Amino acid sequence: MRAIIQRVSDAQLTINRETIKQIGMGLVILLGIEECDGNQDIEWLSGKICRLRIFTDPDQVMNLSVLDMQGEVMIVSQFTLHASTKKGNRPSYIKAAQPEIAIPIYENFIKQMEKDLDQHVVTGQFGAYMQINLTNDGPVTIMIDTKNRE
């Protein structure tokens, strides 16, 4: 699994040019899923993101997590995170899991995040056309890949 985590002051999500969902201060997580991803990846990544200390404390040091801040979270599936640009100019998405594999993993990741955060998270719609309007706070953007465990 690959995740791009952005610390935001707010974010709005439009799905199929209709539905609008939004969050305030918190995290927008773009999530890419590979066929080999499983429960260990879900649990590790969710825990890592929830405990990631990227919010500033009163001394302006990044020392607080989204849990500490009681921030909101938005999760959006993003198969393009597994794009390969090694050959040619058209990205290949062969590493990205097919929907029949990716959807249950995506749904389980959402459940795990809600459990770890002890709150509801805002989500995109798998496979839909979506637009995200966000204010990246800092800016702070972090990439995590469960295969590297960095």
Rounded CA-CA distance 22/11 in Å is 6
Q: Say how far apart CA 1 and CA 45 lie, in whole Å.
A: 8
User: Which listed residue (14, 56, 80, 123) is catalytic?
Assistant: 80
Q: What's the distance, CA 79 to chain centroid?
A: 12
Query: 141 — phi, psi (to 5°)?
Result: -135, 125
C-alpha to C-alpha distance for 136 and 83, rounded to whole angstroms? 23
146 annotated active-site: no
Catalytic residues: 80
